[in-house]
Amino acid sequence: MTITVEATQDGLGFDGEPTDAAVWAAMQAGPEFEARPGGTHRPDDVEGGDVEGGDVEGGDVEGGEEDNADGGREITAATRGADVLSGVGHTAAVGTAAAPAVDDATATLRRLRASVVAAHASAMRTQAALADRALAAMAAIAPPGGRIPAAVGDRGRGGPGWGTPAVDRPACHDTGLPGHAGASAPGTPPRPAPAIAPVEITAPAELTVDVTVVARDAAAIDGWVSLPAVVRQALDEVLRGSAHLAPRGGGHWVLTRAALVTSGPLPRVGDELRVQAATRVGAPGGFDPATAEVTLALRVTRGPDVLLEVLGGVFRWLARDGASHGGLAGAAGFAGIEAPGNPPGFAALEPAGAPSGSRGARGWTEDAFKLPGRTTRTTLDAGDLDRLTRGDVAGVFGARYDQRGVNPSVRLAPGGPLAAVPEFAPRGGAAGRGQLRASVSRLTGGVDHDGQPDPTHLAIAALTASWQAVSVFAMAAGLHLVIADAHLDVALPDERLELPDGLGRLSIEIHAPGHGAGPAAEAGLELVLTVTDIDLVPRPWLRADIELRDAHGPVATIRGIALAVRERPGTPVGPAHGGVLPAFLGRVGATGESALLGELQMFHAARGDLAIALGPEFASAAGRTVCRLPGGGLRLVDRVMRVDGARGQLSGGASMITEYDSPADSWYYTDSPSPTMPNIVHMETSLQSALLLGYYLGATLTDPANDYVLRNLDGTATVRREVDLAGRTIRQRSTLLSTTVLSGAILQNFQYELFLVPVDGSGSHGSGRDGDDRDGDDRDGDDRDGDDRDGDDRDGDDRDGEPFYVGESLFGFFTQRTLANQNGLDQGAFVPTWLERTSPAQADRRTIDVAARRAANAPLCAQGAMALLDQITVVDGGGDFGRGYLHAVRPTSPDDWFFARHFWLDPVMPGSLGVEAVIQALQEWMVQEGLTDDLVEPVFVVPAGLPMSWRYRGQIRPDDGEMTLEVHIKDVRRDGARARVVADASVWKPGMRIYGLTDIAAEARGRGAQSW
């Protein structure tokens, strides 16, 4: 016969034939079950329908309150926990009593009543027996001291499916990964499976779990719990608490796919967490575990805060032979999966499709993230990974990762599955943002009751390997170098900032659960991590897609896993009032000295929180159109090393030392006509450092009621000598000369010099007085770069410390109303181009097809982000000086890359990019004129010894539609292996001349060329 156990909303109901001896024999089977005194044994008198003694005094069985004359053997499910499972306690009693003489009718009635009582008592014994067996089964899967939720929640309490109170449950074991509590380590004897008689489960379509647990993680770093540990602990509660996922012989329940949404920082060990979950099967009335699919929705909260949710989770039964219902291959995502039993506020997640932030045109490099860390390491062995578990990041990646012990919690969790890293490529991967390949040990370290590999937690094992991989990449990238007292946490969305869509959501898909856990995995698996997004705002973070493969093919795919480096609550991440450092912020400079501000603050100055960048006086600027640093590839200042001067000191004399790292693979080297630093970078790094000084000193704080944006107005700069800047660190000293406050405008004049930091990090700009100014108490910045305040001998071989680039420039902070009154260089008058004024004959004009040269990948032609011109009109012998004339029109669009970089909420084309377009016109003309033909391995360089001056009186905005330029060539010079062209130029927006350039030049140099 069949015994069925049916879970109902009101409790567990048992349906059987209590008078059948086979029923009672089945109930007596099993080593955990034995007869209790006066209770669970088969009544001998049932068969005849007569209770010994014949009568039940009072004859009242309703309510179970019969009087038992012989002392009463009470059978109660409540005393054995049946009411815990069902919410209903049933009590029945039977007994004997002396029967008075009665007539036949009365005797017959009493016998009938006695038969009813006996049947009821037998049914209660059966129910109690089944309740005992249910408790015994649950005792086999509960953790020591754990708690078991009711199998079915009262859907009228606490919202649909989420109101069931947690109750105590017996102790049991769990099987897990190395480093997790309750794990069965490889080689240890398997624990015997509990003897459970086969039972067909009949359950409702949805079951809920609601339990409170204490956060735990045996591999926690300084008390910080990892993402895999939180998910593992929550899923364990589901596996123990849902009858849908009850264990059975011959296989395992495997989580084959799920979407995770993280909404809050990870907990600490000991935090109290509430786990609420709902599992659902296809239809009510029964299911076969061998063919069923169980879907899951789960929520983990800490107090009122949601930490994470699991949506669209799918469990499938994996038989011991590897067979699985529905198949597990394919990784196309799972858009539109409905999350079962969603409480109010839950939403279905759609993780299918590539994350945002993918690359634009093929070969585009401008958007490549510049890592704070600079290491030569491209591989890591087991010893390196072990050193990372001990926090020796500098010992693995180099001295520039030494933070003087301010980040002891930034280290790799011990006991993880990564064995080695054969590839770390900071510019690798499909998005060009980084790739890491790692070898991974088998994904499960536990075994099941039969001593076989247990794939139950394969998804968690894959998540653990992925978390370890993104942790290694984050440390190699140096994301922690810009912050102090930090730990590794999950990356979270921030509605105040423009961040990629879907941040905080990840998907897990298991393709072949038998592979990663089976014997074929003994040789190890390969993990491939591809970074899709990486940033420093609001805190350093990265997001990646990960695939785990073995000899058979893909085992697991995890998309969108995101890790952040977050400071301990209360740790300062920016300057205090007045720009004073409350403590060392964690960043050191190129030679090891303490930085005043680092890349984190520079990123916030570009598009984040200005209070973090500059101090609390700037907090009111959030969301307003105010002065910002450029962003992306146009942000060309990394660190502020020292400020000599106090906030509010605007009369002149204050100075600032900044640093900028120029990696050899920067976009402007790869995209320029030659792999040399173009003029735009010389201009921008110097101008940005100067404007940062004025802003830091509080120029706009003189009128806090108005929003000011920044514009460069004019300047003169000179390259004093040629230097190879690829892979070097540039150090700049900016000095404020004057400030003039007008109505709606604040004008500031600066002087600046650029030097090179020595390659070996030595030199007179060392590490301050003793290199140990860790608490930032050097409030005026004195000696942050040593006592060499005049820059002497900063690059060791620079002719007595002479700077390689010097200049002076005027900036203006303007209100939007003032900017609206700009009238260009000609006081509002329209001045046409020379081509329009003179109208030379078409026969006197020729065209340089720059776009065709670019398409042919011709030498000395700009590509990618530096491709500023497509066509140039040439009039030989034309122009103001009769030496030649160039004219070009460059269409502009709101989609042009530079508008998103310069500036946030205030998009304008950088003036230096307009200057670069003029230089490119000169360079293309030189190639067409054959001036580079006789040079050996020619490259373009910024001419040395020639001051170039500019005036800006307007900007190219996204809706202007085009930029027009003209160039008047006035000098052509050749000398051995060099050729130089000097010109004057102008730039127009529609209807207005806005740039005037004097002595702008282009120069080509052959290999071995001497200076002029």
- Quickly list DSSP for 88-154: ---EEEE---PPPP--HHHHHHHHHHHHHHHHHHHHHHHHHHHHHHHHHHHHTTSPTT-EEE-SS--
**Cis? peptide before 903, omega within 30° of 0:** yes
DSSP assignments along 397-439, one per residue: H-GGG--TTS-TT-SPPTT-SEEEEEEEETT-STTSS-EEEEE
Say how far apart CA 455 and CA 875 lie, in whole Å: 75
How far apart are the C-alpha atoms of 603 and 133, rounded to whole Å? 62
- Give which of 894, 916, 890, 917 is closest to 907, Cα–Cα: 894
296 phi/psi in degrees, rounded to 5: -140, 140
The answer to whether the beta carbons of residues 466 and 490 sit under 8 Å apart is: no
Q: Which helix (H) or strand (E) holds 237?
A: helix 227-241
- Residue 27 CA to residue 126 CA, distance in Å, equals 7
* Single-letter code of the amino acid located at 164: T
Residue 491 near residue 504 (C-beta atoms within 8 A): yes
Query: What is each CA distance from 142 to 20, 237, 240, 868, in whole angstroms?
Result: 33, 9, 6, 67
- SS3 (DSSP) at 812: strand
Asked, as a colleague might, if the bond just before 958 is cis with ω within 30 of 0, I would say no
Q: Which residues of 155-181 are buried (b: 16+ CB within 10 A; e: fewer)?
A: beebeebbbbebeebbebebbbbbbbe
Residues 6 or more apart whose Cβ sits within 8 Å of residue 65: none
Q: Do 870 and 884 touch, CB atoms closer than 8 A? A: no
DSSP 853: H
Q: Write the DSSP string, 21-57.
A: HHHHHHHH-STT--PPTTSSS--TTTTTT--TTS--T
The rounded distance, in Å, linking the Cα atoms of 1012 and 1007 is: 14
H or E element, residue 467: helix 458-477
Task: Give CA–CA dist 913/920, Å, rounded.
Answer: 10
Which residues partner with 995 through β-bridges?
952, 987
In this structure, how many other beta carbons lie within 10 angstroms of the beta carbon of residue 461?
A: 30
SS3 category, 713: strand
Residues 6+ apart with CB under 8 A from 48: none
Identify whether the C-beta of residue 273 lies closer than 8 Å to the C-beta of residue 299: no
The DSSP string of 727-753 is TEEEEEEEEEEEEEEETTEEEEEEEEE
Catalytic annotation present for 244: no
Q: Are strands 962-975 and 885-891 parallel, antiparallel or unpaired?
A: antiparallel
Task: Give how far Cα 776 sits from Cα of 38, 154, 408, 586, Å.
Answer: 79, 58, 19, 10
- What positions carry a catalytic annotation? 902
